[in-house]
Structure 1
Amino acid sequence: MTVDTHHHLWDLDVRDQPWMTGEEMDPLRCDFRPADLQVAVRGTSVDATVLVQTVSDPDETPEMLVLAETVDRIAAVVGWVDLTAKDTREQIGRLHTHPSGGWLRGIRHQVEDEPDPDWLVRPEVLAGLAAVEDAGLLYELLIRPHQLPAAIKAVGQFPQLTFVLDHCAKPPVADGELEPWASRIRALAAHPNVVCKLSGLVTQDDWAEQPDPSRLRAWADVVLEAFGPSRVMFGSDWPVCLLAASYGEVLGVAKELTASLSESERTAVFDTTAREVYNL
């Protein structure tokens, strides 16, 4: 059994995806619907997935909750609310009372696109994180390496809130520079309330060079050493991963990057930790 903790779905007739900029994103400018997900995972061991938001649109999360209710394998949703708003608690409350609100497990915001590197520790954002904690949800960190210091500060202020780091904070794999990313990852991992997704690495390297575990091993080793296998979870980042590798190739790369772990440690990375974190 395998849990994929990170994938997306979108219908461009329903909603634009403004983060798709530049010709290099052309492969993603089409619809990715539940039927496409079922085709992608066919023949793999993946039996449960976590559907993650893609835009800062309050209408997207209710739609994802309905998908979790109706689509086989989708077992949890990570949605979006405006953390800076005065009514963040009310926004979360409306999601919880949605007919399919029981599938909501966490909240995420595209912090990576915020020009302020300290966005996560703004007073209004910290108040929003407090609302997430009080609602019994987790918070997913979509950040880049220069935003890790603020993330470390925010995580320290909410020791009872589970934080999930997406895509290993998008390290500069293509540049080959481990520092200062590695030191900051270790500092973040020192907080026991943070879990990290082993996801997104194939698209941080030169896409033409992927999939190639040897080019990603140093980055994966830092994450596995810093967090320990019991706090690392597999994520495909499908369909974004298609820029560099197929779904099956991404899963294969993750298995090769964790091949030196014990059987119980691999089970944690690919299954049990995700089931505990997302209450599946």
Structure 2
Amino acid sequence: MSGSLDAHVHLWNRRTDPQPWIDPATMAAIDRDFAPGDLERMLDSTGIQAAVVVQSSNSAAETRRLLAHPSPRIAGVVGWIDLTGDVAAQVDALDPAARARLVGIRHLVHIDPDPGWLSRPEVATGLKGLAARGLGFDLVVRSWQLPSAAAVVSAHPEVRFVVDHLGGIAETGDTAGWEAGLRELAARPNAYAKISGLAGMPRDGDRAGLRRVVGVALEAFGPQRLMYGSDWPLAELGAGAVAWRGAVEELIGQLAVPERQAIWSGTASAFYRIGA
């Protein structure tokens, strides 16, 4: 698609899709529902044309609700299906119009009770099913899970993977371990990454740390395998979506125009096959 694309946002209505992880005391900025109208206002404020909405719970019902949103600013939905089950049957069960808006699948690997979920044989079968349907897989993992993620990515060259939030760097003090894990993942040509989930770093004034982190990602993946994401509304727990957009503009400002365009829209559009 032409124009800029935010590759990672969330919407939720807690009446139908509870978000028990939201702590009203420490997360007051997001202690409410977020609807397509809120998303459109955020996109207007950041100058972004459209967004990819990403699931926030391992729920087929939530995915159906996200797919039903009519907003033209939603370019696609990364939903959830049970990868240990029949992938084709689950995708085929979706309404045809909704199915066309499904651009990828995600499972909350980082909080799954089974620390080895990603390496389960039935998940491997499910990933093959995604490839057959042309769907990519969003990897949401902690930094310590990056080596196992790299092994899975290597075992499935037919699947497109994108690691959310640069592999959880914002949640660890082990920057050396994170960097080694991210570089190992990036060595697989079917692995991509989102520059997202880092809005707390400019809030904390850690521009030098942020520059180092994004510099590692640029060196490891290159602009053609990197995409911008705000992680809104969670970005509001940090500097906010507008400040985060500005920080990324500054961080990639020295790149050539085609490289910046790849990060702002080209990579995500190609990965999620939006407009194809």
- Shared fold (TM-score, shorter chain, > 0.5): yes
* Post-superposition offset of 1:172: 4.2
Aligned position for 1:63? 65
Aligned position for 1:209? 204
* Post-superposition offset of 1:133: 1.4
Q: Is the 8 A contact 2:46 2:241 kept in 1?
A: no
Q: 1:174 to 1:127 in 2, by over 3 A?
A: closer
Counterpart residue type for residue 40 of structure 2: Q
Aligned position for 1:31? 33
The RMSD of aligned alpha carbons is 1.8
Aligned position for 2:7? 5
Identity of aligned residues (%): 39
1:140 to 117, 138, 141: 138
1:102 is aligned to 2:108 = no
Aligned position for 1:127? 125
Gaps of at least 5 residues in structure 1 are none
Counterpart residue type for residue 56 of structure 2: T
Distance 1:149 1:174 in 2: 15
Aligned position for 2:92? 93
Q: Is the 8 A contact 1:199 1:235 kept in 2?
A: yes
Q: Deviations over 1:157-211 (max 9, x none)?
A: 1101100110001114673x421110111110011111110101124x4x8515x
Q: Classify the secondary structure of the residue corresponding to 2:249.
A: helix
Distance 1:36 1:22 in 2: 19
Distance 1:219 1:196 in 2: 12
Q: Classify the secondary structure of the residue corresponding to 2:12.
A: coil
Distance 1:187 1:34 in 2: 37
TM-score, with structure 2 as normaliser = 0.92
1:150 is aligned to 2:148 = yes
Q: Classify the secondary structure of the residue corresponding to 2:169.
A: coil
Q: 1:93 to 1:19 in 2, by over 3 A?
A: farther
Distance 1:213 1:14 in 2: 38
Aligned position for 1:47? 49
2:112 to 107, 111, 114: 114
* Post-superposition offset of 1:100: 1.9
Distance 1:23 1:84 in 2: 36
Which runs of structure 2 are paired with 1:73-88 in the superposition (5 Å)? 73-85=73-85, 87-88=86-87
TM-score, with structure 1 as normaliser = 0.91
* Post-superposition offset of 1:84: 2.2
Distance 1:181 1:21 in 2: 27
Counterpart residue type for residue 266 of structure 2: T
Gaps of at least 5 residues in structure 2 are none
Q: 1:263 to 1:138 in 2, by over 3 A?
A: same
Distance 1:192 1:22 in 2: 41
Aligned position for 1:185? 182
Distance 1:98 1:236 in 2: 29
Distance 2:87 2:18 in 1: 24
* Post-superposition offset of 1:129: 1.2
Higher mean alpha-carbon deviation, 149-158 vs 43-52, is at 43-52
Aligned position for 1:233? 227
Aligned length: 272
